[in-house]
Structure 1
């Protein structure tokens, strides 16, 4: 099994994902929000790249008597006119249960749509469900590409950390001796250099994932916006067993629990 890692949404080359399992991360906060919403009873999430498309789709679903929530974020702020934003704390069971969440964000929804063009399977990853995602990806038995959304085209510490946590879980399941200094990695598990770097990043922060957000530029920015509670939530490791999977439905994507 080969494990690779893409550092930003902009580095996605759809043809290079053909036949693999892609795991998409936008830890602060889109994929954490998606995982939380589905864990709290959301029927499905629809990730839309642009705000106008999200607004139009939500209106169409509402016209079909589908209970829908319209949510969007740009630059960390809720989009004007949208009832909901990109905070996972906005989606407790009493709000999101049984509803469809139409979501557009600065980075995460672009990464999800980009990965879904050619990948065989797309899973939604975060710190919240890292172990469950690793187990699911291993069961699928395909090469894996961790797709980090990044922040405005730049490397993101928190996304790479979460990807590294999934890599760490996979290594511990399939070849735990890989982490020993005198062990020769098995030929059955082939980690690209970016994946190795993410693995060791995860080992550094494993006992204090929240600290990584204090060190990341985007995390500090959200903290300065008064979103410390969001950071605390998104830093929680292996809180949920939910593994969201992306599916294509007519002209848009949907995300549901496996």
Structure 2
């Protein structure tokens, strides 16, 4: 099984994803928010790139008597006029249960929508569900594309870490003794160089993923904005079994990806 990593959303624009399983990461915070919302009973998440379009989509859902929440951020801040931002802590069960979430973010929703139009299956990854995502990717048995959103077109340490944690779990599933005797090629996985680099990030931070956010540019920014609780939540490794998948329920909003629990 080939495992390839793309470090930014921009790199996905020319990527060949057809027939593979893509896993999208925007660890701080869009994909962590999506995983959390679905784990807490959200009916589905519609990802939209443009804020004005997100408002239109939410209005169409509400007009169809579908309970809906509108959420979005730019630069880490809640979009003015939007009821919700991009903090996973906002989407408690009593808030999100049974509702559709319409979400637009600076980086993550763009990466998700790019992947949705190109890959056979698109999963949503984070530190929260890394093991569950790895298990599903192995079950599907196709080549895996790890798609990191990045931040404003630049590499993001936390997204590569999320991807690396999935690679680490896949390695352990393919060869349970690999971690103790890491012989190259023994797992049967064919890793690209970026995937190897992400794996070694995971090995470096596996005992304290939260520390990676102290080292990452975007993590430090969110901390300076008073969002330490978000960072703590997003660093919770393998605490969730939910594997969000893109595509089910597309008929709800034609032309917009809808993410649901697999």
Q: What range describes the TM-score normalised by the shorter chain of this pair?
A: over 0.9
Cα distance in 2 between the residues matched to 1:16 and 1:177: 32
Matched, 1:157 2:161: no
Matched, 1:191 2:191: yes
| Deviation, structure 1 residue 251 | 1.3
Matched, 1:30 2:30: yes
Q: CA deviation digits over 1:153-208, x for unaligned, max 9?
A: 00000000010000000001103455466724148310000000000000000000
Q: How many residues align?
A: 258
Structure 1, unaligned runs of 5 or more: none
Contact 2:72–2:82, Cα closer than 8 Å, also in 1: yes
Cα distance in 1 between the residues matched to 2:182 and 2:16: 33
Mean Cα deviation higher: 188-197 or 168-177: 168-177
SS in 1 for 2:23: strand
TM-score (norm 1): 0.97
Contact 2:175–2:187, Cα closer than 8 Å, also in 1: no
Taking the TM superposition and a 5 Å limit, the aligned residue runs for 1:10-159 are 10-13=10-13, 16-159=16-159
Contact 1:14–1:114, Cα closer than 8 Å, also in 2: no
SS in 2 for 1:89: helix
Which position in structure 1 is the counterpart of 2:206? 206
Matched, 1:257 2:261: yes
Runs of 4+ in 1 over 2 A off after TM superposition: 175-184
Distance 1:174 1:181, change over 3 A: closer
Q: CA RMSD in A?
A: 1.3
SS in 2 for 1:252: coil
Distance 1:231 1:182, change over 3 A: closer
Which position in structure 2 is the counterpart of 1:172? 172
TM-score (norm 2): 0.96
